[in-house]
Amino acid sequence: EDQVTQSPEALRLQEGESSSLNCSYTVSGLRGLFWYRQDPGKGPEFLFTLYSAGEEKEKERLKATLTKKESFLHITAPKPEDSATYLCAVQVWGGAQKLVFGQGTRLTINP
Amino acid sequence: SQTIHQWPATLVQPVGSPLSLECTVEGTSNPNLYWYRQAAGRGLQLLFYSVGIGQISSEVPQNLSASRPQDRQFILSSKKLLLSDSGFYLCAWNPETERGAFFGQGTRLTVV
């Protein structure tokens, strides 16, 4: 069974304090790993897709990396507007391109 | 451009009442469509997906059903709601690009 586990469940940082979120996965055949940002009461918004081990993607203060077993979302010098829940999901080959999600990390950046 | 519409945004329903949530996609044809549910503070759980008109696959046994009467319309239903059906329901479609899925804005369902 395909599984995704995110840690920590919640993280509080001071503005400017860098950290990383973890996403561990077990899948039969990885087609892609996705990171989304979700604000309260809204649908998830796409951040990154990673396809193979060693791949990295960056966007502003966020950088996503991928190994064969896990992905990290690194947040450098975060600002209060980076506060949100960050969701990791995997997509496997076949199966109508379904996404299997982790439970998310709720990130709070204090000014 | 492609857009996804989901309504209503919030809904409060009594136990035992019926449910109908609607989702429509614009700007594409024959999309894969999905219904997810998100419990408070949790990740998204896939409930149903559809690869074409009238084709519905269920991921989790439950009190809900789904239908796809038109190519770009996906409906989530229940004949009698339970308290445990409360949650945040999200419709999504797969554009077969690197984005994985586009999501609607969600429906907050509270069963009382």
Chain B residues near any Cβ of chain A (below 8 Å): 6, 32, 34, 36, 41-46, 49, 51, 57, 59, 88, 90, 92, 94, 96, 98-106, 108
Domains of chain A by range and CATH? 3-98 (2.60.40.10)
Q: A101–B34: do the CB atoms touch at under 8 Å?
A: no
What pLDDT is attached to residue A87? 97
CATH number of the domain enclosing B86: 2.60.40.10
Task: Report the amino acid identity of residue B104.
Answer: G
Q: Tally the domains of chain B.
A: 1
CA distance B51 to chain A (A): 7
What CA–CA distances, in Å, run from B28 to A5, A64, B24, B87?
33, 30, 11, 28
Report whether pLDDT(A77) > 90. yes
Q: How far is B66 from chain A (nearest CA, A)?
A: 16
pLDDT, one tens digit for every residue, chain B (112 residues): 678 999 999 999 999 999 999 999 998 888 999 999 998 877 899 999 999 999 999 988 788 999 999 999 999 999 999 999 999 999 999 877 777 888 999 999 999 9
Q: Mind spelling out the 3-state secondary structure of B37-65?
A: EECCCCCEEEEEEEEECCEEEECCCCCCE
Read off the pLDDT of residues A6-61 as tens digits, 9 standing for 90 and up: 999 999 999 999 999 999 999 988 999 999 999 999 999 999 999 999 999 999 99
In A, residues 8-47, which contact B (CB 8 Å cutoff)? 9, 32, 34, 41-46
Supply the pLDDT for residue B96: 72
**Residue for token digits 């450098």?**
A76
pLDDT in tens, A91-101: 988 767 889 99
| Enclosing domain of residue B76 | 3-111
CA-to-CA distance for A40 and B34, rounded, in angstroms?
21
